[in-house]
Structure formats: structure tokens, C-alpha cells
Structure 1
Amino acid sequence: MLWHYTTHVRAGRILECGELRPRVAAYSLPGEPPLLWFSARQDYEPTALKIFEQGNQRGCMTFSEQLARFGLARFGIPDDYPDLMRWKEACQYSGIGRDERRQMELYGRKLGADRANWFAIARPVTTVDTRFSLYLDHCWVNYTLTAL
């Protein structure tokens, strides 16, 4: 399974609209097309942690901080899902150059991530095509989603 990691609030919004939608990240380059990101990490994707700014400091929340503040949720798709792009292919699709790609990879490594786990898709994914989990009591708890 590949997972799109998010927070409880965002998961609620996704469930309400019935699909995960590609978005342009806050750090995206001008004109970069929106993508929906997934990770092969089964525990949690470090690059999905929220970035915070306090005064002149900028950093990432820890897993525990994000869990306590926002809750954790994930939507899973099979690793053979149609139109899925690997990291390098997604960068080429988005027009991300080699230097920017390497900076993103370095940042990810500093957080404990591995680009080999990164995948993207450029279209919405309906929630009925996914597995859904919430992180509760120190483990991922799976829920069944059905079409309304």
C-alpha cells in the first residue's frame, strides 16, 4: 500500500467531499501543477509533518507533536494504482529541476525520509478506492469506507 498522510481535520474534509484532490504545496514553484502525494512508508512519512514558524525559526513538528495537536490519518491505495508516478517522474511532470529536486531530497533525508518511498498522481482519487486509517492508541486503526 501507498499512503497519503494527513490530519484528522483534513481527513474529515476529504471524507465529506469523497475524494483526495491534488494540491499545490505552499513551497511549490510558480506554475507547478498540483499533485497528490503518497508514500510507501507504512509507519508515517516524515515529509508529511507540518512546518511551523515561530519568530525567525522554522522547522517541522515531530510525529508526537502533530499527533497531539492535529491527530493523524491516512488514505491508502495499491502500489499499482493507475497513473501513479515515482518521485523523479513526478518532478519531471511538475517541471522541478535537478537542483530543486536534490534540495528536496536532502531536506527529506534530514527528516528521516527516503525519496524511494515518494509517489504522486495528478488527478483526484475517490475515497471508495482507498483504505482509511486513524492513528489511535499508538497504532493505525483501519476503517471501511463505502459509497453513499
Structure 2
Amino acid sequence: MRLYRRQDAPGAASVTVYLHGGGMFLGSLDTHDTRCRIYARLSGAASLSVGYRLAPEHPHPVPMEDCYAVPRWATAHAADLGIDPARIAVRDDSAGGGLAAAVALLSRDRRGPVELIQYPAVHHAFDTFGPGAAVSRRAVGNRVRALSAF
């Protein structure tokens, strides 16, 4: 884990637990460091980035349980971290969205912290754009081809 927080943040800050993208087999605290620094600076909220264990060495449910443990840990250590335990949310990036959705369901079932999902990649077809989508198929291109090449 890595905590990002503005030095001039007044009092106990809200915190977002950040789950990085990378297909659950790529990515790390370092690959998403700049994103977390910018978010903490611009939002005023603290950001707690999770370096969850990656596949294939650590298959499901290991990454999911790693991610679920962080908001619980943050709640238990809120005073030491200078955060408000009642204002903990989860934000995500791409594959981290699948983990965030799982963390939200675990939180519901295990009575854990309340979760917020930013933009999960959870639809199996990778090509569905609903009427309220902020981007179009033309803007994104052929995601299936792009993911296959990846």
C-alpha cells in the first residue's frame, strides 16, 4: 500500500482506496503512482493505492481478498493515517474495476466499508456502450481487437 495525501489537508481527510488496472496480471504501485499523486492533489482526498498480488502466480481469489483487506485495514488504522473512517471509498481503473465490484459485494456480504466504483470493466463482451455512456465506439475503437493484441 502507498498513501498519498496533501500536506495542507485540514483535519481527517476522506480516503479513496485505489485499485489499479493492468488485466490483474500487470500494474503496480509504481505504474500508477502519478495518477494517485494527481488525484490526491486535485481532490483533497487522501488516496491509498493497493499493490495487490497478481496472476498467474496468485490466482483468484487472492487479488480480490488483498483488495478487500485494505479498506478494512484503513478503517482500523484511520486515526494513525489521519483519515475519516466514515469516508472511505474505493476507486478503480480498468481491471481494478472488476476487483472494486468484488470488494463492493464482499463489503455488502461481510458488512465492510461502503464502496464507490469509478469505471469498472466488467461486461464480458467488452463492446457494450449504453445510451448514457460518455464515450462512443468510434472514440474507443475495437476493444476486442485491442484486448486480443494485448
TM-score for both structures, normalised by structure 1: 0.26
TM-score, structure 2 as length reference: 0.25
The higher relative CO (CA closer than 8 Å, separation ≥ 6) is in 1
| Larger gyration radius, structure 1 or structure 2 | 2
More helix by share: 2
More strand per residue: 1 or 2?
A: 1
